[in-house]
Chain A
Amino acid sequence: MRGLFCAAALLTAISCAGSSSRSAPAEEGEAATLGITTRAPSDYEGQCYRLLFETRWQGRVVASVEPGGSAAQAKVGEGDVIVQVGEVTLYSQDDLDDLLRVSRPGDRVELKLRRKDGAAEETVQAILGAARASSGATRRLRWQHASLGQLPFALKEAEKTRKSLLIGLSGAET
């Protein structure tokens, strides 16, 4: 049964390019949210869903879904694996947190995911919800773009505004 489950996931996997509509980062006190909690994939899930990228698993398994929240409205369920949000491939909770931190409620994002029942890889649209920002939101630096996938947006913005870019690598101690 497990083999069949894996085979179905493998045979039906397709790839879709991610994208999102972006606006300025959220105001102080509010934060964008998908209304989910996630966890790292197990080795078994990683193999079944073909999540290996170089030496690590990509994607985050949805551990819980807030009823009526952004992900629930986009028909994302517990056990689904979110591989990519917008331009950002997820390897850790930090990747997701960074993306939400530079987004704002109402932004539309594309989620690339693998369904827990082994069905085809799907791309769904979600509209980010609003949550109260945690106390940790007051940071030394407020990032505007997250991850390598959004670097092209940043370069365009820098070219347009004639600003330099500040790239923080791996948390950049903020």
Chain B
Amino acid sequence: MIAAAERFVRVIIRRPHAYRFRDQHREAPIPGLVFLGPDGKVKGTFTFGGEDDKASLLAKLLEMR
């Protein structure tokens, strides 16, 4: 478990539910991550590519937020 993730309320949304989420948030990448503020507004997104070490990437990404 990535420690920095504890700073977030974490929600997993899969296809096809994810498509409906994207209907409301056009910038949402699938597959990917979306950061929302407590007000529910999008603060950032991240799209997964072909990275070899996704765990390190995720950890860095969450540390930076």
A interface residue numbers (CB < 8 A to B)? 54, 56, 89, 91-92, 94-95, 98, 102, 138-151, 154-155, 157-159, 161-174
Contact = CB atoms under 8 A, between A and B. Distances in A.
Given A54-B16, A169-B18, A169-B30, A150 B38 contact: no
B5 A141 contact: yes
A172 B32 contact: yes
Given A144-B10, A163-B9, A167-B13, A172 B33 contact: yes
Chain B interface, DSSP helix/strand/loop, else mixed: mixed
Interface residues of B, number: 39
A95 B37 contact: no
Nearest to B56: A140
Contacts of A142: 1, 5, 10
A158 B33 contact: no
Contacts, number: 149
Interface in B1-56: 1-2, 5, 7-18, 20-22, 28-40, 43, 48, 54-55
Chain A interface, DSSP helix/strand/loop, else mixed: mixed
Contacts of B37: 158, 164-165
A167 B21 CA distance: 10
B11 A92 contact: no
Contact of B10 (A92, A159, A161, A168): A168
A163 B10 CA distance: 10
Contacts of B5: 141-142, 166
B40 A155 contact: yes
A148 B21 contact: yes
B13 A166 contact: no
A142 B58 CA distance: 13
Given A140-B55, A140-B58, A164-B38, A172 B31 contact: yes
B30 A144 contact: no
